[in-house]
A and B are shown apart, each in its own frame.
Chain A
Amino acid sequence: MPISDERQTPSQRPPPLLEFKDVNTYYGELHVLKGVDCSVGEGEIVCLLGGNACGKSTTMKTILGIVKPKSGEVAYAGARINELPTAERVKRGIAPVPEARRLFPRMTVLENLEMGAFTRDDTAEIEIDKERVFALFPRIKERLKQQAGTLSGGEQQMVAIGRALMARPKLLCMDEPSMGLSPAFVEQVFDIIQAINRQGTSIFMVEQNANMALSIASFGYVLQTGQVVLHGSAQSLRDNEMVQQAYLGRMKA
C-alpha cells in the first residue's frame, strides 16, 4: 500500500512537462512497473530513488521509448507519447545521459558532442550550444581531439552531459549521474546539474546517492519493487524516517 506524504501539496508544483499516469510495463511475464504515477514539472529537478532492481532503469527506458508501457499513459509537453520512437522523442526535446555514460568510444570528444546534435540542422545554433557546453565544462575544450574511450570516468560523464545538451533538450534524463565517480567529482557534477537547471532545462534524475540527489532536487519519488511508495518535496523526503533509514544511512536516534 503506497504511503502518502501529508505535507506534499501538488498544487504548488509547476505544470507537468512529463507525466506518467498509471504506467505498467512488462519484460515478458515479469511485471516491472506497477501502476506508476509520477511527473516532472517545467523547470523542476525531480529525483527517483530506490534500491537495486526496483524499476528505476525501466522508468528511464520507458521515458525514452526503449521500453513501451503495456497500459497507462506517458505524456510529454501535453501529448501522449506511448508509441513514439526514441529518435522522435529526442527531436522533441527529451535527452538522456545514460547509465555508464555510453559515449562512442572510438570517436573524438568533438564528434561525440556533434552526435548529440544529430537530430538538428540549425548549424549556427549548434555552434552556440557547443560554446555553452564549453563554458560549463572547460575541461572538455582541452580534449576535443581525444578519443572518448580514453577519457577518465569523470571526463566521460562531462562529455555525456555535454552530448545530451547538444540536443538542446527541454528535459534532461540522467541515469545514475554519480555512479563510479570520485566524491569530489560527484559534487562537481551536481553543481553542474543545478547550473543546467537554472538555464531552464527540466531534470529527471535516477540516483543511488539519495543524499546528493535530494539536496538539489525540488521533488522526489521513492520506488520499491515497481511501485511508487513515497513521494513528496525533497525536503519532506529528507525528513522522512523511512527514507532516512533506507537511503540516507541514518538510524533512528
Chain B
Amino acid sequence: MSHWDVLLQQVINGVSLGAMYALLALGFTMVYGIIELINFAHFNVFMVGSFIAMWTLEAMGFAGQSHVLYGLPLIGILLAAFAVTMLGSGILGVAIERLALRPLRGVPGTAPMITTIGMSYILYNIVLLGAGADSKNYTNPMPKTAWEFGGVTLRLREVLLWTVALLLMLALNYFVRRTKMGKAMQAMAQDQEAARMVGIDVDRVVIITFFLGSALAGAAGLIFGLYYNYTSYLIGYTAGLRAFTAAVLGGIGNIPGAMLGGIMIGLIESLGGQYIAVRWTDIIIFSLLVLVLVFRPTGLLGRAAPTKS
C-alpha cells in the first residue's frame, strides 16, 4: 500500500464514522437551537437506539452475522430496521421531554441540564440491568462485499451507511427549510417570544424537535452496530461526547455546522489514529475544540448571538 492508499483508506473510514457522529450531533444542535438546553440524555438515547435496532433485527429472524442478504431483501430489511429504530428512539426522546424536562420549562439555571444527565444515567442503568454488562455480538445482515481500488478497500456496508446518512440529512434539511413546522423551528431558534406571538405552539415544536433529534440518534445507534458489529450499554459515552464536540465545533444550534463538525471529528479520529496514535485521538479532538472555542467561540459555522435592536 502506498501512503496515498493509506490516506484514502483512512478518509473512507473517517467519513463513515463522521456520518454517524453527524447524525448524533444533529440532535444536540437542534434541541440547543430551540430551547438552549444541552441534552445529555441524548448520549444514551443513541445507545438505546442501537439496542432497539438489534432487537428489531433479531425479531425479524436474524442472529449474529451469518445470515447475510443481498439486493432488494437487504434494502427492505434495512429500511424496516431504520424505521422501527427511529420511531422507537423518537418516542423515547419525546417521553424524556414530556416527563422530565417539560415540568422544568422556564426554570432558570442548570436544573434542566442536570436533569438530562440524570435521565442519561437512568437509561444507562436500565439497559445494564436489562441486557447485561457484556458486549453484544451485533445482528448484521450486511454482506461482506467489497471493492478493491489499488490498495484501497471500499466495503458495500460503508456505501450503504453513507447513503442512509446522506438521505436522512437531506430529509432533515428539507423539513427544516421547506415545511411549515420546520419554519416554526427556525423561528423559535431565532426568537422564542416572537415565535409565540405569531401563534406558534411552542410545546409542539419542542416535542417534534426531540422526536427528530432522537430518531436521528437511533439511526446513528443502528449505524454504530452495523459498523462495529457490537453494541453495549457503554457506547453512549465516547460517541456521545465526540458528537457533542462535533456540534460545538460546527457551531451549536447550527444544523449544517453539526454535519460539518461530525465529518471533521470522524476524519480526525481515523487520520489521527493512523498518523499519530489511537490513544491521542481524544486529546487531538478536545484540543481542537479548545482552540475553536478560544478563537471562534461561536463555532465554525455559528453566528454571533443576534443583537436585540
Contact = CB atoms under 8 A, between A and B. Distances in A.
B67 interface: no
A115 B187 contact: yes
A118 B200 contact: yes
A84 to B, nearest CB: 12
B191 A90 contact: no
Nearest to B303: A106
Interface in B290-309: 303, 306, 308-309
A134 B197 CA distance: 22
A156 B194 CA distance: 14
A146 interface: no
Contact of B309 (A96, A115, A156, A167): A156
B306 A105 contact: yes
Interface in A85-107: 85-87, 90-91, 96, 98, 100-107
A100 B306 contact: no
A141 B187 CA distance: 21
Contacts, number: 69
A107 B201 CA distance: 19
Nearest to B201: A87
Contacts of A105: 190-191, 306
A96 B190 CA distance: 17
Contact of A107 (B190, B193, B196, B309): B190
Nearest to A105: B306
Interface string A180-196: 10000000000000000
A103 B197 CA distance: 11
B260 interface: no
Contacts of B183: 111, 114-115, 118
Contacts of A116: 198
B13 interface: no
B197 A98 contact: yes
A91 B308 CA distance: 27
Contact of A167 (B186, B194, B199, B308): B199
A85 B203 CA distance: 11
B-side interface mostly: helix
Interface residues of A, number: 29
B186 A100 contact: no
A104 B199 contact: no
B184 interface: yes
A116 B184 CA distance: 11
A191 B301 CA distance: 42
Interface in B170-212: 180, 183-184, 186-187, 190-191, 193-202
From A87, A100, A106, A114, residue with most partner B Cβ within 10 Å:
A87
A87 B194 contact: no
Contact of A86 (B184, B186, B199): B199
Interface of A: 64, 66, 85-87, 90-91, 96, 98, 100-107, 111, 114-116, 118-119, 149, 153, 156, 163, 167, 180
Given A86-B199, A118-B200, A119-B198, 10 more contacts: A86-B196, A86-B197, A100-B308, A100-B309, A102-B191, A107-B186, A118-B180, A118-B187, A118-B198, A149-B306
Interface of B: 180, 183-184, 186-187, 190-191, 193-202, 303, 306, 308-309
11 contacts: A66-B196, A85-B201, A102-B191, A104-B187, A104-B191, A107-B186, A114-B183, A115-B198, A118-B187, A149-B306, A167-B199
Q: Which 3 pairs between the two chains have the least Cβ-Cβ distance?
A: A90-B199, A119-B199, A102-B194
